[in-house]
Amino acid sequence: MADSVIYTRTGDKGMTGLLDGTRVKKNCLRVEAYGTVDELNSLLGFAKHYVDSRPLFDKIEIVQKELFWVAAELADPSGTVFETRLTEEMITRFEGWIDEIIQTINPEPHFIVPGTSKASGMLHVARTVTRRTERIIISLAEKEDVNLLVLKYINRLSDVLYIFARQQEERQEIIKVAD
């Protein structure tokens, strides 16, 4: 019988391997951090199918691909296996996306009730998972070295997702008014 590539049995006792070969408990902060990034990535994969804009869909896909890099960076505590691909330009790009969208929505600050549409609801859930990811990474950084760009990327991503959701909410409001 051929060996399965799906199961290895190496995690059956609650341990897992990091990219550099280190074995850790599956509930350690580092695994929690990259596992939550994976959760966020999956959620964005779901959310993008509800947005009503191809450019927004494409932006979410860019983020999804980059989240693999974030997870890999977190899964390589020694920094010897995965060479970082995160850059300050990605943070600047996020800020550009925010600035671009802010010009198209109502800038008045007010409380937003998540879920005016499926798209905005899903993006708000993704934003809250991003905030949880950020809290976990901060806890990890208090105990171990974490690339500051990982934290900056995740922090700015929550802002981006908020703006994406706001845009979808306003577009939904425009549709309601037109009906």
Across residues 75-95, what is the average pLDDT? 93
Assigned domain for 2 exists? no
Amino acid occupying residue 159: D
Residue entry with tokens 């790009």: 93
What residues form DSSP beta bridges with 25? 15
For 41-58, the pLDDT digits (tens) are: 999 999 999 998 999 999
Which band of pLDDT confidence, cut at 50, 70 and 90, is reported for residue 60? very high
The DSSP string of 29-59 is HHHHHHHHHHHHHHHHHHHTTT-S-HHHHHH
Assigned domain for 110 exists? yes
Strand 23-25 with 15-17, pairing: antiparallel
Assigned domain for 7 exists? no
Residue 173 buriedness (CB in 10 A; 0-12 / 13-18 / 19+): middle
Q: Which domain holds residue 154?
A: 21-178
More confident residue, 176 or 171: 171
For 119-174, the pLDDT digits (tens) are: 999 999 999 999 999 999 999 999 999 999 999 999 999 999 999 999 998 866 54
The shares of helix, strand and coil residues in the chain, as percent rounded to the nearest 5, are: 60, 5, 35
Residues 107, 163: contact at Cβ < 8 Å?
no
* pTM for the structure as a whole: 0.88
Assigned domain for 138 exists? yes
Structure confidence at residue 5 (pLDDT): 64
Mean pLDDT for all residues in the chain? 88
* CA 18 centroid distance within chain: 20
Assigned domain for 148 exists? yes
Assigned domain for 9 exists? no
Q: Which of 12-21, 50-59, 93-102 has the lowest mean pLDDT?
A: 12-21
Amino acid occupying residue 50: Y
Residues 155, 134: contact at Cβ < 8 Å?
yes
Q: How many domains would you assign to the chain? A: 1
* CATH number for the domain harbouring residue 73: 1.20.1200.10
